Amino acid sequence: MIAFVALSAVVVAAQSYPPPFPRSGATKLLDNDRVQVWDVSWPKGQPTPLHRHPYAMTGLYYAPGDRVITAVDGSKRPVTTKAGNIVWQLKGITHIEEGTSESPLRAVMIELKGDGPTGTINKVGTAAGLRAFTGNAMPLLDNERVTVWDYTSGSDPGQSSRRSLTPPTRHSHPMDTVVVWTDGSTGHTAFMPAGTAHTDESIGGATKATMFELK
């Protein structure tokens, strides 16, 4: 009985942790049945509450910065993150985060709803002869939930932007895709449903974007 009560207390405590967002320094950019997307900063000297991530998470750090991460047991880990790093984190992580650099770390964080891939693929565009966006590009990240691609405006979306700057051609996106770009100090995002077909990505005045294909 004592063991059962103790286990129940642990379960209740685990369920009582708040999610990481919303919080100060985080602005919601997008929310639908596949994802929640946040523009996030870690201001110096402003620790987050102890929180648990209920979703697997991916995204892009777009401004460099430092922070210290405190685990549930109180242990601390300093982290320095470069701009351009891709986020991948499994759900269930519980910690406190606090910015430590004068210029705060900034990122666009994508929470992946659901417990696994949905398998949503729309091949209408490719069946009609359109190239898939991915083409011969080299992914920045590829796992069971997401494939991440670099994109440069004006490049052929079916080729790696590092290898080709040929004019873009009409192409399709077989998977639901989150597009992330920045204007230097703010993150922006758009959602393209599987089956979207077009010539170039809509990223405002930006020249580069990161594409997150949802599996």
Residue type, 150: D
Residue 155 pLDDT exceeds 80: no
pLDDT score for 156: 62
Biggest CA–CA distance in the chain, Å, is 70
178 backbone dihedrals φ, ψ, rounded to 5° = -100, 125
Residue 177 pLDDT exceeds 70: yes
- Provide the pLDDT confidence category of residue 126 given band limits of 50, 70 and 90: confident
How many CB atoms within 10 Å of residue 115? 9
C-beta separation of 3 from 11 below 8 A: no
Token reading at 87: 């986020």
C-beta separation of 85 from 65 below 8 A: no
Q: What percent of the chain has pLDDT over 90?
A: 71
Token reading at 16: 């009582």
Three-state DSSP class for 124?
A: helix
Distance (Å, whole) CA 4 – CA 13: 14
Distance (Å, whole) CA 175 – CA 119: 9
Reported pTM: 0.87
Tell which CATH architecture fits domain 17-112.
Sandwich (2.60)
Average pLDDT, whole number, for the chain? 88
Per-residue pLDDT tens over the stretch 36-51: 999 999 999 999 999 9
pLDDT score for 13: 47
pLDDT score for 205: 86
Q: Which residues contact 18 (CB under 8 A, 6 or more apart)?
A: 49, 51, 52
Query: Domain extents for the chain?
Result: 17-112, 124-214
Residue written as token pair 């659901």:
114
Length of the chain: 215
pLDDT score for 7: 41
Three-state DSSP class for 125?
A: helix
Distance (Å, whole) CA 174 – CA 158: 13
Three-state DSSP class for 42?
A: strand
